[in-house]
Amino acid sequence: MVCAGHTSGGVDTCQDDSDRPPLTGGVLAGITSWSRSRAAPGHPGFHTRLTTVSGPVTAHVGS
């Protein structure tokens, strides 16, 4: 799991953001999961770390 956002709030996962995954240098870095609050200070969004699940996903898609 990866936490993302800004400690002062205003930048994070919000409702209906599931089609906007986190990118790092233009590369898909995670899958949007959930957020406790809509970009509120001190409440990061949570994302599935893509490198953690890429093996099982690739195995399933390839079968």
State how many domains the chain has: 1
pTM confidence score: 0.55
| Cα–Cα distance measured from residue 30 to residue 50, given in angstroms and rounded to the nearest whole number | 5
Structural contact between residues 32 and 13, judged by C-beta atoms closer than 8 angstroms = yes
Instruction: Report phi then psi at 49, rounded to 5.
Output: -70, 115
Domain that holds residue 33: 2-62
**What CATH number corresponds to the domain at position 38?**
2.40.10.10
pLDDT score recorded for residue 12 = 65
Q: Is the pLDDT of residue 42 over 70?
A: yes
The model's pLDDT over 10-32, given as tens digits with 9 standing for 90+, comes to: 666 666 666 677 778 888 878 88
Pairing of strands 27-28, 30-35: unpaired
